[in-house]
Structure 1
Amino acid sequence: MTIHLQDLDGERSLTWDAGGLVADAAVVAAGHEPNGYFWEGLVRFAWPDIAERLDFNSEAGMFCAVGSSRDLARLKTAVGSIVTSPEAVRDIIARAANTGFEFDD
């Protein structure tokens, strides 16, 4: 899995392909679809301070966030270890469930 931080035509984005990730089995076991919309929800829940400053353009097969270089770099650092850790994803999903957060997947 590769997280892409790119600058195209003055627009900065952070993307990764959804599906085929190490943490997908944990997402499915929790009753969710490991698509771009799920990962967007996870970001919105786990890092609301960063998410509130980003625009999202996720799709079923891809996560996409658009924003400043600083915010996207912070997000890349934060999610880099999460998307490869089923345990971390399970923990975030459980914390989200305890607060009533609903993923839009």
Structure 2
Amino acid sequence: MNLPIALFNGTVATTNGLYSIQDISIEDAKNLVEKHGYISAIGHKATADILSEVLDKNVKMHRVQFQQKVGQIAIVLKLNERPPEGSILDKAEMEEIGYKLKIMKRIE
């Protein structure tokens, strides 16, 4: 089963299941997206802009109700700090806070 890589702007369980989450390098994330393709479930423009740069892809903001399938991998942009309630950060603010990429796989 060759499912596209889902792109998320947070480590969110999109449906019931068992998930594995680990850090992933930018290079490994780029290789996975290149090999499997991707589907954007990014709900914020600044996140889409950052992922476009780091993955060398044209990632669009795409607010959808996405359900990750068993065996499907997601690449997640996870901020290093939780922003204040109600905040909508721009790209510069996100880069100032810092972020890591995570790989999130739905196991069952």
Superposition TM-score, scaled by structure 1 size: 0.27
More strand by share: 2
Question: Quick check: which one's helix share is greater?
Answer: 1
